Amino acid sequence: MKVPNDFFTFPKIKNRLRGQRFRSPEEAVDAFKNAVLDLPANEWNKYFENWSERMQMCINFRREYFEKQ
């Protein structure tokens, strides 16, 4: 099952870090952590609201998953 991070957080962080080069895995992890911590609370709320809507759509359509057309 996909969670809000799969749909919203990871793509946003990926875009924020795109093009950066890191000297070590630890430096990349630190950059990721900082980018996550920089996300405002209202964005987290939006992610979870959207996730709830997607879950309800799956329930309504008998667990069939579909992308927006």
Q: What is the pLDDT of residues 1-36, one digit of tens each?
A: 555 566 677 888 889 999 999 999 999 999 999 998
Listed in sequence order, the residues at least 6 apart from 35 whose beta carbon sits closer than 8 Å to its beta carbon are 13, 16, 17
- The whole domain housing 47 covers 4-12+23-60
**Does residue 52 fall inside a structural domain?**
yes
Distance CA 62, CA 43 (A): 29
Closest CA to 54 of 40, 68, 44: 68
**Does the pTM exceed 0.85?**
no
Distance CA 7, CA 51 (A): 8
**Does residue 69 fall inside a structural domain?**
no
**Does residue 36 fall inside a structural domain?**
yes
**Does residue 67 fall inside a structural domain?**
no
Given this model, what pLDDT does residue 26 score?
A: 97
**Does residue 32 fall inside a structural domain?**
yes
Given this model, what pLDDT does residue 56 score?
A: 81
The domain tally of the chain equals: 1
